Amino acid sequence: MFLASRPNPDFTIGPLFVRAIVTPELGPIEVRVQWSLVVPPRRSGAALEQDLYLLWPGPVDGETVGGAPDPVLAGYLTERGFTVVRQGRLPLYARQLWGGGRRPPPEPIESGAPFASYVRESGTLDRSAPATWIRVPWTPKLVNRTWMIELRMKLPQMVRERRASWLENTIWGRRHSIALSFGDVRTRAAFPVYFEHRDRVIHLATDPSQLLIRFDDADHLKIHAVSPPTSRRQPGETRAGRELVSLYLDPTEGLRPQVLGVEFGYFTGWKSWAPVLFAALFFVLGNIAGPLIAMFARRAGARLAGRIHFGPRRSVERQIGTVIPREALARIEPGTTTHEEVLRLCGPDPEEHEQLAMPERRVLIYRGRKVVPQRRRRLGWLATVSRWDAEHHEVEITLDREVVQDVQARVRRTHLETPDGG
C-alpha cells in the first residue's frame, strides 16, 4: 500500500507492476515494484512534491545500498510501541520508457529508499509477523510519464512449504506456495500504521496495473493451483524456460486486498517421472495382489462360515447331490422294479455306467452328501459351530434289460472343518 506525506492526495498511482522472481533455489525472492504517478489535469507536478511511503506486509532482506539508516523511520515506529528489527536502504532506480532502438539501463537513484522492518510485541499475544515501512524520496521523475520508478528488494518469507505427508512428498515432490498482494494491511504489524494514515492512501489509477510472478526453469516446474480464477498463466515472452502468472488489479476494489497466489513445486531427476512410475507400480501391484487378496478372502470367508451358523434349528442340515431315503430304497425290488420306476423313486439324473461287452446291462449311480453342524452356543438364530458332520451316500443300482437286478447302498461318515469340505 502506498501512502502520501500529506493527507488526501489528489494524485493516483498508475501503472503499477509488482513482480516477483522465483528460482529453483527458493531462497529470498526478488521483488520489483515499478510505478509512476498520475497528476490531475491543470495541476503542476512541482506542487505535489512530497515523499511517498510504501507499507509492505513482510520483512525485507538481501541487497541494500550504502548509506546510514533513516533515524526518523525508526523513531516513528519506536514511539508507537513497535520494535525495529532491521534498518537500511533499498535499491531505487528510474527506468526510462522510451530510448530509441535500444532502451538505456535503469538509472540508480542516489541513497536509495530507507526502510525499517518492525514487529509488534504484546504481553498477551505472541510476537507479530514483521512488516516494513519504506520511504521513497521525491524525484521529478515520479510525475514524468516517460519514466517509471523501480524499487528492488528481497523477501525471505514469501515462499512457504506446503504441509504434506512423507508419502505425498515422495510421490509428488515438495509443494510450495507464494502470494503477492496489493492493499493487504490485515497483519497485526501493518494495520496500526495504515489506520493512523488511512487519509493518506494513494489509490490506483485506471492505467493497467498487475501483480506478476515469474518462475524460472519452467522445464522443471509444476504449477498445481492458481488463485483467483481470473489470473492469467502464460510462457515468458522474451526468454524461453520461464512461466508467468499475472493478475490485473481492479482500481474499483478500493481498499479490498487483491491477492495473487500460486501453489507450485520444482522437480529434478527421477521425481519428474514419479507420477508415471508410481501409477505403473500401483497397476502392477494391483494385478498381482488382486488374485492373492481374492484367495485369502475366500479362505477367510470359508473359515468364518465353518465356525458360525445363522438360521433356525430345522435348517441346519445341508444336502449336496442326491441322497435317497431308506424308504425309497426299500421299495426297489430286484427282478421286479423297472428302469422308469427307479427314476421316479430316486431321481431323474443319475450317473449311468454301461459295459460294451454287455450292452443290455447298465449301472445307475446316485451320489449325495449331508452336512450337519455340531453347535456349541446359540443365541436365537446365531450359533457357533465346533465341526461339521458329513454323510457321503452312494447307491448303485444294476439293471439288466431295464429291470433291477441288484442294489448296493454305501454310507461314509466324516468330520469337516467347513461345510464345503475344507
pLDDT tens per residue across span 162-182:
877 766 666 666 889 999 999
Confidence of residue 381 (pLDDT cuts 50, 70, 90): low
Query: What separation in angstroms does the CA of 59 have from each of 4, 153, 256, 326?
Result: 21, 10, 22, 98
> What is the SS3 assignment for 399?
strand
Cα distance between residue 285 and residue 273, in whole Å: 18
Cα distance between residue 247 and residue 258, in whole Å: 9
Are 254 and 61 spatial neighbours (Cβ–Cβ below 8 Å)? no
The residues pairing with 275 across neighbouring beta strands, listed in sequence order, are none
Copy the grid coordinates of residue 253.
Answer: 476494489
> What does the pLDDT look like over 229-286, one tens digit per residue?
999 999 887 777 899 999 999 998 877 899 999 999 888 655 555 555 656 666 777 7
- Tell me, yes or no, whether 294 lies in a domain: no
Cα distance between residue 226 and residue 263, in whole Å: 6
pLDDT score recorded for residue 291? 77
Q: Are residues 243 and 320 in the same domain?
A: no
**Average pLDDT estimate for 284-304:** 71
Q: Are residues 209 and 123 in the same domain?
A: yes
Q: Are residues 6 and 102 in the same domain?
A: yes
Residues recorded for the chain? 422
Q: Are residues 229 and 320 in the same domain?
A: no
Amino acid, single-letter form, for residue 62: G
47: left (phi over 0), alpha (psi -120 to 50) or beta: alpha
Cα distance between residue 121 and residue 189, in whole Å: 9
- Tell me, yes or no, whether 255 lies in a domain: yes
Amino acid, single-letter form, for residue 260: L
- Tell me, yes or no, whether 277 lies in a domain: no
How many other C-beta atoms are found inside a 10 Å radius of the C-beta of residue 368?
Answer: 16
Q: Are residues 108 and 37 in the same domain?
A: yes
Cα distance between residue 403 and residue 349, in whole Å: 18
Helices (H), 316-404: 326-330, 339-346
Looking only at the bridges linking them, the beta strands covering 382-400 and 308-310 are antiparallel
Q: Which residues of 316-339 are buried (b: 16+ CB within 10 A; e: fewer)?
A: beeeeebbbeeeeeeebeeeebee
Domain residue limits at 235: 2-267
Are 381 and 310 spatial neighbours (Cβ–Cβ below 8 Å)? yes
Cα distance between residue 388 and residue 371, in whole Å: 6
- Tell me, yes or no, whether 43 lies in a domain: yes
- Tell me, yes or no, whether 342 lies in a domain: yes
- Tell me, yes or no, whether 293 lies in a domain: no
Residue ending a domain, among 234, 267, 300, is 267
- Tell me, yes or no, whether 160 lies in a domain: yes
How many other C-beta atoms are found inside a 10 Å radius of the C-beta of residue 149?
Answer: 22
Q: Are residues 206 and 350 in the same domain?
A: no
For the ranges 277-281, 312-316, 351-355, 407-411, the lowest mean pLDDT is seen at 312-316
Higher-scoring residue by pLDDT: 54, 67: 54
pLDDT score recorded for residue 310? 61
Q: How many domains, in total, are found in the chain?
A: 2
Residue ending a domain, among 216, 235, 267, is 267
Q: Are residues 259 and 313 in the same domain?
A: no
Q: Are residues 68 and 123 in the same domain?
A: yes
Cα distance between residue 406 and residue 399, in whole Å: 7
Query: What separation in angstroms does the CA of 44 have from each of 9, 10, 11, 89, 96?
Result: 13, 12, 11, 29, 21
Q: Are residues 22 and 121 in the same domain?
A: yes
pLDDT score recorded for residue 179? 94
**Average pLDDT estimate for 361-374:** 86
- Tell me, yes or no, whether 272 lies in a domain: no
Q: Are residues 241 and 379 in the same domain?
A: no
Higher-scoring residue by pLDDT: 361, 303: 361
Rounded to a whole number, what is the distance in angstroms from the first to the last CA of the chain? Answer: 79
Q: Are residues 254 and 322 in the same domain?
A: no
Q: Are residues 361 and 226 in the same domain?
A: no
Residue ending a domain, among 237, 267, 297, is 267
